[in-house]
C-alpha cells in the first residue's frame, strides 16, 4: 500500500502541470471568462505557470486519473453508477451514437447505461439506479430489446417508496445489475425494498429464468417484476 501511495504521489507530481491546463479547459464550461486566444497560447506553449496563476479551481479529469483505461484500451470489470435523469432535446451526436437504445423521448440515463455496458470487460458487471419506467414504459422499449438480445440482467431491486430515494425528488427507481456475458440458462434475482436504507436487510428474492421475466409483445416487450417466487412459479 505504501509503495502504491509513493508511486501515486510521484505520478501526481508529474501530471500536476498538465492538470492545471486541463482545469482551464474544463472551466470553460462553467463560464470562467478566460480569453480563448490566451487559452490556446497556454496550450501551445505549455505555459504551466500562467495556467496555475489564472485559475484556482481543481477539476477531476478522467483521462489523467485512469490512464491505464483510456490510453491502453482496457475494459472495466465493474461499474456502479447513479446516472443523470434528463430528457434529451435533439442532439445529432447522441441520437446517432445511441440509436440502439433511444426511442421517442431519449433520456441521458439510457445513454449512460449503454455506454457503461460498452466499457465492460468480457465478463464485467454494471449496477445502476435507474427509473422504474425501464420495465414497462414505451419510451424504453428499444432499450429493453437491446438488453434482452445482447446481455443478461442478473438482478432487479425495486425501491417501493419513491419519496425516500432522492431528497426532494419523486422518482420511482430500481437498482439494475447487468452482466456483459449472455447466459442462456441464467437466473435473474428480483427483489423489493421499502427504501434504500433497507438494502442491508434480508430481502425477499424470486429467482426466475432470465428469458421468463419478459412479457413478449410484437411492438413492446415488457419486464415483469415481482419478488414473490410463488407468482413466478404460477406464471411460468
Rounded Cα gap, residues 67 and 82, in angstroms: 23
pLDDT tens, position by position, 143-162: 999 999 899 999 999 999 98
pLDDT tens, position by position, 85-140: 999 988 888 899 999 999 999 999 999 999 999 989 988 999 999 999 999 999 99
pLDDT, position 70: 74
pTM of the model: 0.76
pLDDT tens, position by position, 165-188: 888 888 999 999 999 888 767 899
Q: Is 214:222 a contact under the CB 8 Å cutoff?
A: yes
pLDDT, position 26: 86
- 47 burial (CB, 10 Å; 0-12 / 13-18 / 19+) is middle
- Within 13 A of 32's CA, how many CA atoms are on the CB side? 19
Rounded to whole angstroms, the maximal C-alpha distance in the chain is 71
52: how many CB neighbours lie within 10 A of its CB? 16
Amino acid at each position: 500500500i505504501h509503495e502504491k501511495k509513493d508511486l501515486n504521489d510521484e505520478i501526481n507530481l508529474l501530471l500536476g502541470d498538465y492538470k492545471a491546463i486541463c482545469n482551464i479547459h474544463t472551466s470553460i464550461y462553467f463560464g470562467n471568462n478566460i480569453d480563448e486566444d490566451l487559452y490556446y497560447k497556454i496550450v501551445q506553449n505549455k505555459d504551466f505557470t500562467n495556467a496555475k496563476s489564472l485559475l484556482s479551481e481543481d477539476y477531476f479529469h478522467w483521462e489523467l486519473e485512469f490512464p491505464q483505461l483510456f490510453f491502453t484500451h482496457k475494459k472495466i470489470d465493474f461499474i456502479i453508477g447513479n446516472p443523470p435523469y434528463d430528457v434529451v432535446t435533439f442532439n445529432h451526436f447522441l441520437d446517432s451514437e445511441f440509436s440502439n437504445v433511444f426511442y421517442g423521448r431519449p433520456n441521458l440515463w439510457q445513454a449512460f447505461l449503454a455506454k457503461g455496458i460498452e466499457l465492460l470487460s468480457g465478463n464485467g458487471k454494471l449496477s445502476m439506479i435507474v427509473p422504474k419506467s425501464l420495465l414497462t414504459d414505451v419510451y424504453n422499449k428499444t432499450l429493453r430489446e437491446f438488453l434482452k438480445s445482447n446481455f443478461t440482467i442478473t438482478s432487479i431491486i425495486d425501491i417501493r417508496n419513491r419519496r425516500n430515494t432522492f431528497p426532494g425528488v419523486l422518482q420511482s427507481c430500481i437498482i439494475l445489475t447487468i452482466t456483459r456475458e449472455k447466459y442462456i440458462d441464467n437466473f435473474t434475482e428480483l427483489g423489493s425494498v421499502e427504501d434504500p436504507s433497507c438494502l442491508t436487510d434480508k430481502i425477499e428474492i424470486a429467482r426466475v429464468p432470465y428469458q421468463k421475466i419478459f412479457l413478449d409483445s410484437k411492438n413492446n416487450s415488457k419486464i415483469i417484476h415481482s419478488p414473490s417466487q410463488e407468482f413466478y412459479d404460477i406464471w411460468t
